[in-house]
Amino acid sequence: MIMILDYGTGNLNSVKRMLDRIGVRSETSSSPEDIARADKIIMPGVGHFGRAMANLRERGLLDRLNEAVLSKRKPILGICLGMELMAKTSEEGNAAGLGWLDAETVRFDFAPGTRNKIPHMGWNQMAVTKDSRLMAGVDGTAEFYFAHSYRLRLNDPSDMLSETEYGVSFPSAIEKNNIFGVQYHPEKSHDAGARILKNFVEM
């Protein structure tokens, strides 16, 4: 069972529609029991880091998530905020994260008058930095849709799967064992995004 984790943030329906379009059966749920029975978990998210972590705690999801991901090694894909939550801390809300990655979530910081605006919104390419089944069959010139004000700062470069330039180079995808994340929105990235989701489901 592919579970789309509902922890009170946006974009769940968009992910569900994309999975439906590519013929993948999935369930949207906020139940800790469904985390236990899921084969794979997708953790999308649009919203505030601190509020999202509070929602995970209030819904009793943290222990089940840690058990599923860290102990049982179930594959999980974080999307946008869902990936940022995997860091140890965030500047957004000065909050502690899941701590699955040796990383911090930091805000883009551009000098006034520069051409790079916050949030980073629009289409960008990514440069894949290591082999991964998640990227199988993805054209190197493909563009993906981004909408974010924060980015990961990785302390372990081996966790980087791809990077993107927007004023600075930042991780646009990560992979650490069974833990995957993308900063962009594959559910809004047409065929290239659909391929990423299909690759994850078929692992």
Residues serving a catalytic function are: 80, 185, 187
**Nearest to residue 128, comparing CAs of 195, 41, 65?**
195
- Residues 150 and 138: their CA atoms lie apart, in Å, by 25
- Residues 40 and 1: their CA atoms lie apart, in Å, by 7
Half-sphere exposure of 150 (CA within 13 A, CB side): 26
Count other Cβ atoms within 10 Å, centred on residue 55: 18
Main-chain phi, psi angles of 196, to 5 degrees: -60, -45
- Residues 170 and 126: their CA atoms lie apart, in Å, by 10
Residues 173, 183: contact at Cβ < 8 Å?
Answer: yes
